[in-house]
Each structure stands twice: as C-alpha cells, then as structure tokens.
Amino acid sequence: MSDDTTTQRRIGRGMIVLAWLAALAVLWLFFDDALDRRENPNRNLSVQGDSSELVLTRNRAGHYVAPGTINGQPVVFLLDTGATQVSVPAHLGPNLGLTPGAPMQVMTANGAVTVRATTIDELGLGPFRIHNVRSHLNPGFRDEQVLLGMSVLKHLEFTQRGNTLILRPHGG
C-alpha cells in the first residue's frame, strides 16, 4: 500500500471521528437545553413595561422556579411556602455579598440544621424588589437554587391556577 493511500485513510478516519464528535456535541446541546427547559420553564422570564404581576409556570417536578437577583447578582429561586425565610446555599454567600451572622438552628425536611443568619439588602423577583430580607446561609445546600421562603412571599399575593402561579403585590 502506498503512503498516499495510508494518508488518505487516516484523513478519512479522522474526518469520520470529527463528524461523530460534532454530532454528539449537537445532541448534547439539544438535550441539555431540553432538560433545562423542563427544570426551569421560567428561565427566560422577562417583565414587560410596568407590569405589576409575575406569571410562573410549574416545572415538571411540580415546583415553581424563577430567575431573580440577590444584591444585584443573578440567582435561581425555588418558591417554597413551607420555608420561613430565604435560604441561600452557604457557598453562594460571598458572591452575593452576604455576610454570615450568628449561628442558629432551623428545622428542615431533613431535620435540624445549623445555619448562619444574614440579611439580603435587595432581592429582586420579576417586577418586585424587597429590601432588608431576613434570610440565612445554609451549609447543607450544595446546588445553586435559593429557597424563596415566606420572608419574601408574605409581601405578595399569589394565585395558582392549574400549572400557573400568578404573583402580585398585596392590594394590587
């Protein structure tokens, strides 16, 4: 076999490998995006004009997840009416400008946990801005979602219809 034929075969095999890798990358991007949409159907949430309500769609797991901000930094909230306060994963605290305060015990679905008290200067959820929010840094949370508890939700009126949750300011 000539050197030219061997070189052509190597190039051909290399092109096939590159084509398969490109196809796998496209499939990965497609499925990653599809899974993300199922987990957070509100991820591209935008508020138009001076809207005073926020409409969220329930995710596949039955939860309401929404983008928001803590002290101007983007976060993903998981709305939790069973949580008394906003519970921030402790590892996110420094990037969100949160200072750990006094340790305190809280009861979670997994039992008692020692957290650190903190205060969020400004929390944003759609058109809503809430200041000086009591919250805590939870070392037990390893993911990126922030539990949005009643220390924020008490400021809003919410109505659920089917797979939709509508949030409005009280009296709005």
Shared-domain flag, residues 68 and 153: yes
- Look up the CATH number of the domain holding residue 68: 2.40.70.10
Shared-domain flag, residues 24 and 58: no
User: What is the SS3 assignment for 89-123?
Assistant: EHHHCHHHCCCCCCEEEEEECCEEEEEEEEEEEEE
Predicted local distance difference test score (pLDDT) of residue 119:
97
Shared-domain flag, residues 111 and 160: yes
Shared-domain flag, residues 28 and 63: no
For residues 128 and 30, give the distance between their C-alpha atoms in angstroms, rounded to a whole number.
33
Tokens linked to 8: 């052509």
For residues 140 and 61, give the distance between their C-alpha atoms in angstroms, rounded to a whole number.
21
Is 54 exposed, middle or buried (CB count within 10 Å of its CB: 0-12, 13-18, 19+)? buried
Shared-domain flag, residues 28 and 68: no
Shared-domain flag, residues 121 and 62: yes
In a domain, 44, yes or no: no
pLDDT for 59-78, tens place per residue?
888 889 999 999 999 999 99
Mean pLDDT of the chain: 84
Shared-domain flag, residues 99 and 165: yes
With a pLDDT cut of 70, the percent of the chain lying above it is 81
Q: Mean pLDDT check: name the lowest of 28-32, 35-39, 120-124.
A: 35-39
pTM: predicted TM-score of the whole model, two decimal places? 0.73
Shared-domain flag, residues 63 and 148: yes
Task: Tell whether the model's pLDDT for residue 41 goes beyond 70.
Answer: no
For residues 36 and 47, give the distance between their C-alpha atoms in angstroms, rounded to a whole number.
21
Task: Tell whether the model's pLDDT for residue 161 goes beyond 50.
Answer: yes
Shared-domain flag, residues 129 and 160: yes
Number of domains in the chain: 2
For residues 80 and 63, give the distance between their C-alpha atoms in angstroms, rounded to a whole number.
9
In a domain, 49, yes or no: no
| Range(s) of the domain holding residue 35 | 1-39
Shared-domain flag, residues 119 and 161: yes
In a domain, 6, yes or no: yes
Predicted local distance difference test score (pLDDT) of residue 5:
79
Task: Tell whether the model's pLDDT for residue 107 goes beyond 70.
Answer: yes
User: For 99-117, what is the mean pLDDT?
Assistant: 91
Shared-domain flag, residues 69 and 150: yes
pLDDT for 113-143, tens place per residue?
999 999 999 999 988 999 999 999 999 888 8
Shared-domain flag, residues 58 and 35: no
In a domain, 45, yes or no: no
In a domain, 46, yes or no: no
**Alpha helix (H) ranges present in the chain?**
3-39, 150-153
Instruction: Let me know the angle formed at the C-alpha of 53 by 85 and 149, rounded to the nearest 5 degrees.
Output: 10
